[in-house]
Structure 1
Amino acid sequence: MEWPGDARLAAGPEAVRYLEAAFTPGAQLGTVYDDPSTPVMVTGVERTTTIRIPSGRLIVDAPWHDEIFDYRNGSPTSPPRELAVRIPPGTYPVEIAWTAGPYEFMGEHFDGIACAATRIRLSDEPVAGWEMGLGIHDAVDRLQPGEQVQFYSDANVGCFADAEAWPTLVAPFRTFVDGRPVPRDSEQLPYGCERLSDETLQADLVTFAAESGGVVWLGRTRSGAVATIVVSSGNSDAEA
């Protein structure tokens, strides 16, 4: 039986084009900002680490956020954005799509290397359709035509994390002494990403670049199974 989809959540044509091109090396993702003659090309897809999601419940959010965090008592003031969709418990690769769009600024030349998107790859099955990944507190009936729901990040950092282990995994991001963050005991990954682990629950949190936050997209197979979960980084200079 084929997955019917939900038109209210379906990605529009531009989003589909971006999502399908972002993880296709050699594809053109757009053009350099303010320079339509220079293409932004996908240069590769790199596996940065793996993430354990034993509960099958996934949070995609900022590990800290000025609007939802009370620095006076070191506690969040609203819950993290847990996705409504459930995934099979397991260990999955986390991958980053890279682009290059050369540009000149104040007489200097730059290669324009940027992260276009980050994903958790759940399976190798082909994606038949894309839809927004709603949070458990989002109401699909309240969506306006063309509206995109997303998480926000003042620090330009997002993360994937197991929901059950969230309190332990996020605590190092929310620990302060005299108003200063305490150094985190985390695994330092390439390109400024981090991986924190809860060995009691065998679960992880992995950070990624997310300028101001981002929309979570679910890539579904013909049967409706989720094959991949993608967040656009928002810091590419590409203009679709």
Structure 2
Amino acid sequence: MEWVGDARLAAGPEATWYLEAAFTPGAHLGTVYDDPTTPVVVTGVEELTTIRVPSGRLVVDAPWHDDEVWRYQKGLPARPPRELAVSVPPGVYRVEIAWTAGPYEFFGEHVDGVECAATRLCIGDAPVVGWEMGLAVDEDTDRLQAGDAPRFFSDGNVGCFADAGAWTSLSAPFRTFVDGIPAPRDTEQLADGCERVRDESQQADLVTFGAESGGVVWLGRTEAGDVATIVVTSGMRGAKA
């Protein structure tokens, strides 16, 4: 049976166009701010790493929030992460980043304007026939208002994919403080400042990526309704449903 999504979660024409163009090298995603003659161009799609998700439950959130220090100082437990309501088959998946370039000048100096357009978790190879917003386990479709785009927020402009079953241990390096100051993290450094944390006892991982102010999570569905990919669009770009 062909998949029919919930219209309240479905991506509109603008978001659909962006989600498909962001991972198409050479595509134009608009123009540089204050310079309509210079396009923002998708320069390539990079495989950042792979991630193990043995529980099939996925967190897509910031690995830490500024209020974690306050909660730590008060002896309060960390707040729960934004776990997606949808699950995926337990497995190992590719994490890919779409890069754009929109060069500009800043106080007379040339800036290449390289940015992350979107980050995706590749679940399957079947074609995507539709996109919908990915709700968290505690979010209710019936409470959505017109124009709402549920998202996670990030004080540090960093997001992550992580196995929800191992979240406590995987996120611990980001929530460790000494006298109220974040402690140096013993994490694996990936390209472009991204990090990976491994929990070998549970065979699970956490991978960070750039996410300006957080991001909207989109599910790419196949004709059968399976999730083929999970995409995070950062900042305001591509956030409109």
Q: Does the TM-score normalized on the shorter chain lie above 0.5?
A: yes
Assess, with a 3 A threshold, how the Cα gap between structure 1 residues 215 and 235 changes in structure 2: closer, same or farther: closer
Contact 1:218 1:226 in 2 (8 A): yes
Number of residue equivalences: 236
Quote the Cα distance in structure 1 between the aligned partners of 2:83 and 2:214: 14
Separation (CA, whole Å) in 2 of partners of 1:75 and 1:218? 33
- In the alignment, residue 197 of structure 1 is paired with which amino acid? R
The corresponding residue for 2:62 is 62
d(CA) in 2 for partners of 1:38 and 1:74? Answer: 51
Partner of 1:33: 33
Gaps of 5+ in 2: none
What secondary structure does 1:14 align onto? helix
On the 8 A contact 1:116/1:235 being kept in 2, the answer is: no
Q: Which amino acid aligns with 1:167?
A: T
Q: Does 1:134 align with 2:135?
A: yes
SS in 2 for 1:18: helix
Matched AA of 1:59 = V
Deviation (angstroms), 1:167: 0.3
1:24 aligned partner, one-letter code: T
Offset, 1:233: 2.6
Q: How has the CA–CA distance of structure 1 residues 235 and 95 changed in structure 2, closer, same or farther, with 3 Å as cutoff? A: farther
Q: CA deviation at 1:9?
A: 0.1
Q: Which runs of 4+ in 1 moved over 4 A?
A: 73-77
**What are the residue-to-residue correspondences of 1:211-226 with 2, within 5 Å?**
211-226=212-227
Q: Give the secondary structure class of the aligned counterpart of 2:125.
A: coil
Aligned counterpart, 2:190: 189
The one-letter code sitting in structure 2 at the alignment partner of 1:32 is V
Residue in structure 2 matched with residue 4 of structure 1 by the alignment: 4
Quote the residue 2:122 is aligned against. 121
Matching of residues 1-240 of structure 1 within 5 Å: 1-67=1-67, 70-73=71-74, 75-234=76-235
Deviation per residue, 1:115-163 (Å, 9 max, x gap): 1111101112111000000000001000011110101111111110000
Q: 1:4 to 1:197 in 2, by over 3 A?
A: same
TM-score (norm 2): 0.94
Counterparts of 2:149 and 2:226, CA distance in 1: 22
The structural deviation recorded for 1:39 is 0.7
Letter in 2 for 1:129: G
TM-score by length of 1: 0.94
